[in-house]
Amino acid sequence: MQIIALKKSFGKTAVLRGIDLTVPDGKVTAVIGPSGSGKSTLLRCLDYLEKPNSGRIVLDDIVLNAEQPHKKDILALRRSTAMVFQQFNLFRGRTARENVMEGLVQVKRMSEKEAGVIAEHYLNEVGLGSRMNYYPRQLSGGQQQRVGIARALALEPKVILLDEPTSALDPEMIGEVLVVIGKQAKQGKTMLIVSHEMDFVREIADEVVFMDDGLILEQGPPRELFLNPVHERTRQFLARVFQNFDYAI
Amino acid sequence: MSFQFDFPFARRAFAEALLGIPVTLSVVLAAFLAGFPLGFLIARCRLRRTPVISQILTVYVSFARGTPVVVKILLFYSLLPPALEHAIRVLGLNFSIYDLNPIVYAFIIFGITSSATYSEIWRSALNGVDSGQYEAAVSVGLTPFQAYLEVVLPQALAIGAPAFCSSTLSMLKGTSVVFLMAILDITGRARLAAAMGYKYLEAYVVIFLVYLTVCGILEQVFKLLEQRLVRFRAS
Ligand SMILES: Nc1ncnc2c1ncn2[C@@H]1O[C@H](COP(=O)(O)OP(=O)(O)OP(=O)(O)O)[C@@H](O)[C@H]1O
Ligand SMILES: [Mg+2]
C-alpha cells in the first residue's frame, strides 16, 4: 500500500499535512507519536472513514485520488482493508460468529453455511472457539477485541489497520490481544498498527513511523529508531513514553 | 334526574361501533405506511443537514406537529375541496371532487401528522446508534446502503420501538376526530347510533370500551414485534 501526499483538515486545522508512506506487503508497520499527532486520522483515511482532502492512496490496482474519489474505488479500498477499532465496534445484537460472518455473507456472497465454517476457523485462531455464540455484551473487552480481529482476518484483507487495539482494555487483558496480533504478524500478514505499547512495537514491527503534528518526522526499523532517533522531537517522545513505562512498573 | 342505562341499546350501538373498526384501522394503517418511511427520510435529511431541504423539513415538522389535528381537519376540509374542484375545472376534467370519499383527506392529514411525529422518533433513534457501528459495517466492506439496512436500522428500530408504539396508539385514539368529516369510523358510527336513539351516554361508554380494546390489541402486536428486536438494544 502506498500513501502519497495525503492531506486532511478538519475545518481550518490541518491534521495530516502531507503523508507519504509505503506499507510493505507481509510486514508490520507501526505508527507512534504523541496524542493528537494525527495517527488515528491517518488510519481512518485509509479506510475512507474520514475523507482526505488531497493526495492518493494506492493499493495494487486501486488508485483512490482524494480529490476525485469514485464510489467504486472507495468500496474497493474498504474491501481490501480491514479495520480493528480501539472501541472494538462489534455489531450489537450479533453473536461472535455472526459478527465474523457478516462481511462474508454480505460482501463475499457466501452461503450462511460456508461463512459459518470460516467464522469458526478464525474464532478458533484467536482462541475463542468456546465463545462462538456469545453476544458482545457477554464477552470481556479482551475477548471482544479478539472477535474484532477475527472479523478483520476472515475477510482476508490485503492490509489490516489497527488503531490502538489495546488502549481501551484493562491491563490484564492487553496481553491476550497482543499475543493474537503477534501471531498474525509472524504469519506474514500486512499490518499498519498504531500503538502505545512500545515493547510490543519493538518486538513485532518491521518498520516504525514517528508522526508529529500531521507529518512523518522519521521512520526506520525499531532498533534504529528507538536507539538512535535523529530528531529532537522523537527523542523527547521516546524519553517520555519509556519514563512513563518505568513509572508503571 | 333519574337515569337508566339502556343495555339493549348499548349492545346495538356496540355492534354499530364494531363496524367502524376497519375504517379506524385503515386510517391508522394508511398513516403508518406513509408516515413511517417518510419520517425516516425526513430524519435522515435533517441529520445529514442537507442544505435548504433540511431547513424546509424543520419548518414542515414543526407545523405538522405544532397544530392540533382538529384544526388541520377543519382547515383542510374547508380549503382543499373548493381549491381542488377549481383546479379540476381549469384542467377540464370530468370529475367532481365532492364525489371523493372523505377518508382520503383523513389519510392525507394523518399521513402528514404521523410523518412528522415518526421523524422525530427516527431522529433520536438513529442518533442513539453508535457511529462506530456504521463505521465497522462499511469497514467490513458493506456498501453504505447495506450498512444502514443490516446494522444501523435494526438497532435504531430497537431503540425507537417503544416510542413508535406509543405514538401509533395515540394516533389511533386521535383518529376519532375524523367523524368531523362525516367519516363513519368507530366514533362516527357510535355517534350516529346515539343520535338516532337519543342515547348519548350509552354510545360514549361503548366508544370508550371499543377504543380500549382495539388499543390493547394493537399494543400487544407491537410488543410481539419489539421482542424480536430486543437483542439489538444496548445492554
Ligand atoms: N472529527 C473531528 N473533528 C475535528 N477535529 C478532529 C476530529 N477528529 C480528530 N480531530 C483532531 O485531529 C487531531 C488529530 O487527531 P487524531 O485522533 O488523529 O490523533 P491521534 O494521533 O490518534 O491521537 P491519540 O494518540 O490521542 O489517539 C486532533 O487535534 C483532534 O482534535
Ligand atoms: Mg488515536
Domains annotated on chain A, with CATH: 2-248 (3.40.50.300)
Q: Do A68 and A112 meet the contact criterion of CB atoms below 8 Å apart?
A: no
- pLDDT digit string, tens, across residues A212-230: 999 999 999 999 999 989 9
DSSP H or E stretch at residue A37? none
CB-CB neighbors (< 8 A) of B234 in chain A: 92
Q: Please choose, from the candidates A47, A72, A50, A49, the residue with its C-alpha nearest in 3D space to the C-alpha of residue A61.
A: A72
Interface test with B, best of A46, A62, A91, A159 (most B CBs within 10 A): A91
Pocket residue to mutate for ligand 1, from A8, A41, A83, most atoms within 8 A of Cβ: A41
A91: pLDDT strictly greater than 90 = yes
A149: pLDDT strictly greater than 50 = yes
A247: pLDDT strictly greater than 60 = no
Return the residue of A nearest to B229 by Cα: A93
Say how many C-beta atoms besides its own lie within 10 A of residue A20's C-beta: 12
The C-alpha atoms of residue A146 and residue A90 are separated, in whole angstroms, by: 10
| CB-defined site of ligand 1, < 6 Å | A 10, 15, 33, 35-41
What percent of chain A is modeled with pLDDT above 90? 94
Please, which residues have CB within 8 angstroms of residue A30's CB and are 6 or more apart in sequence? A193, A194, A195, A201, A204, A205, A207, A208, A209, A222
The C-alpha atoms of residue B119 and residue B110 are separated, in whole angstroms, by: 14
pTM of structure: 0.88
Report the pLDDT value the prediction gives residue B174, as an integer from 0 to 100: 92
For chain B, the domains span 7-234
Write down the CATH number for the domain with range B7-234: 1.10.3720.10
Ligand 1 atom closest to Cα of A194?
22
Q: Environment class of residue B88 by beta-carbon count within 10 Å: exposed (0-12), middle (13-18) or buried (19+)?
A: middle
Q: Please compute, for residue A105, the number of CA atoms within 13 A of its CA located in the half-sphere on the CB side.
A: 17
